[in-house]
Amino acid sequence: MYNVKSQKAEEFIDHREVLESVRWAKENKNNLELIDEVIEKAKLRKGLNHREASLLLACEDKSRNEEIFKLAKQIKKDYYGNRIVLFAPLYLSNYCINGCVYCPYHAKNKHIPRKKMTQEEVKREVIALQDMGHKRLAIESGEDPVNNPIEYILECIKTIYSIKHKNGSIRRVNVNIAATTVENYRKLKEAGIGTYILFQETYNKENYEMLHPTGPKHNYAYHTEAMDRAMEGGIDDVGLGVLFGLSEYDYEFAALLMHAEHLEAVHGVGPHTISVPRIRKADDIDPDAFKNAIDDDTMAKIVACIRIAVPYTGMIISTRESKKSRETLLNLGVSQISGGSKTSVGGYYEPEKEDEDSSQFDVVDNRTLDEVIKWLIDLKYIPSFCTACYREGRTGDRFMSICKNLKIHDCCHPNALLTLKEYLEDYAKPDTKAAGEEMIKHELQMIDNSEVKSVLLNNLEKIKNGERDFRF
Ligand code: SF4
Ligand code: SF4
């Protein structure tokens, strides 16, 4: 029985409710009166529930679809302006005891090189990342209680935060590790992590169990209820995501929003971010074997409808997407991207030779971070390395209330300029620096608040003179 407030996965992601939502949406996909009603509600920019959003996803009417895309762009602009936050994944270890059939790190893959970084190697990687200009990382690790116990993860986080190389520093470590206990989540919280991210992979229980045949991850309920345990452990920023291609996309979409509604109903705060990865080619993995793989147009519609349904939730895409696809999705709602990523263990310090490849998936967007920054600036997006919120205690419901009132812009915009300025001073190539300085000049003219402008100008000058780490 569907119960948004239940603590049981099979009740808050009730299979029948998901199927019924998808069926209802399909049945009404040409019901223009109903679609118009939902679009009108969406224009209030307060979000939609999973049924309403599913209807927009299913809508086949050309002019309504144009309206949906237009609205997604407008909401993106209202909540996120023209800022894009940058991050990089850091793979600590690819030892894994699970059997996920879509991931090359699955335990039965005997030919992929297994690696686990020592603290010295973590340090080398972090210095390489700092030298690129990164300030925000998402650490990734396979699940293996012997090789990658929580103590190892905590030690790595400590190492990462401790490294101050030249003007570099990693100011926010987000964590993407397997579902764990409340006690371990509490330890992660104490270690000062930003967001805890866990992809559901697929919400369809039957498919989930088939795709995760062995290992602790096989337990659907334990995995799906992980965010509740994380929040119980004190982590108030959590990131959801599905791997599109594993099950039917409309099922995943409705269930993903039901998960967001559940977190909001039980904990008073929805997901901080939603990631939208698609299945990609990798060692031992052929994406063509997954009949639910989605094309670019479907991906764009999904991103637009998520943007409309949960305006206050950040949306993330990785370098699994091509430059062209990233450009489309940025416009429709994505607010965070990775840049210059390596998806192998130790790949930043020393790029791997082909026969030593330990990558989790093939990176499609292979550009350097500086190329990504220049590209963003040329597209008139402000690249932001901001990490201010959690360092200022703006997390969980506090963050959400500022965000829902559209007040976060007053912090994000000046912070984006401050962190861009740091990047330009410390890491940018000459043409990126010139374009970035022009952008800062232009953006300064957009600031009406004279107090903010004066503090900002003052701090930009201090950055030019060598000081770092200012924030609103
Ligand atoms: S997806 Fe994660 S848990 Fe599954 S095999 Fe890959 S690393 Fe292990
Ligand atoms: S001010 Fe907060 S919400 Fe805005 S970019 Fe910085 S960390 Fe993100």
DSSP 8-state assignment for residue 282: B
pTM of the model: 0.96
**List of E strands, 319-415:** 336-338, 382-384
pLDDT in tens, the chain (472 residues): 999 999 999 999 999 999 999 999 999 999 999 999 999 999 999 999 999 999 999 999 999 999 999 999 999 999 999 999 999 999 999 999 999 999 999 999 999 999 999 999 999 999 999 999 999 999 999 999 999 999 999 999 999 999 999 999 999 999 999 999 999 999 999 999 999 999 999 999 999 999 999 999 999 999 999 999 999 999 999 999 999 999 999 999 999 999 999 999 999 999 999 999 998 777 877 878 888 989 999 999 999 999 999 999 999 999 889 999 999 999 999 999 999 999 999 999 987 666 677 888 888 899 999 999 999 999 999 999 999 998 998 998 888 888 877 778 889 999 999 999 999 999 999 999 999 999 999 999 999 999 999 999 999 999 999 999 999 9
Compute the distance from residue 440 Cα to the ligand 1 centre, in Å: 41
Question: Which residue's alpha carbon is at the smallest distance from atom 1 of ligand 1?
Answer: 103
What is residue 281's predicted lDDT score, i.e. its pLDDT?
A: 75
Of the listed ligands, the closest to the CA of 335 is 2
DSSP 8-state assignment for residue 217: G
Question: Which residue's alpha carbon is at the smallest distance from atom 4 of ligand 2?
Answer: 412
HSE value, Cβ hemisphere, 13 Å, CA-based, for 167: 17
The CA distances from residue 270 to 6, 128, 259, 309, 381, in Å, are 15, 34, 9, 12, 26
What is residue 345's predicted lDDT score, i.e. its pLDDT?
A: 95
Of the listed ligands, the closest to the CA of 92 is 1
Compute the distance from residue 445 Cα to the ligand 2 centre, in Å: 21
Compute the distance from residue 361 Cα to the ligand 1 centre, in Å: 11
Q: 35 in the Ramachandran plot: left (φ > 0), alpha (ψ -120 to 50) or beta?
A: alpha
Q: For tokens 């919280």, what's the residue?
A: 189
> Which candidate, 253, 201, 275, 224, places its Cα nearest to that of 50?
253
CB 361 within 8 A of CB 403: no
CB 125 within 8 A of CB 349: yes
Q: Residue 36 corresponds to which tokens in the numbers above?
A: 């118009």
Q: What is the C-alpha to C-alpha distance for residues 368 and 377, in angstroms, rounded to an integer?
A: 14
Ligand 1 site: residues with CB under 6 angstroms? Answer: 96, 98, 100, 103, 105-106, 142-143, 178, 217
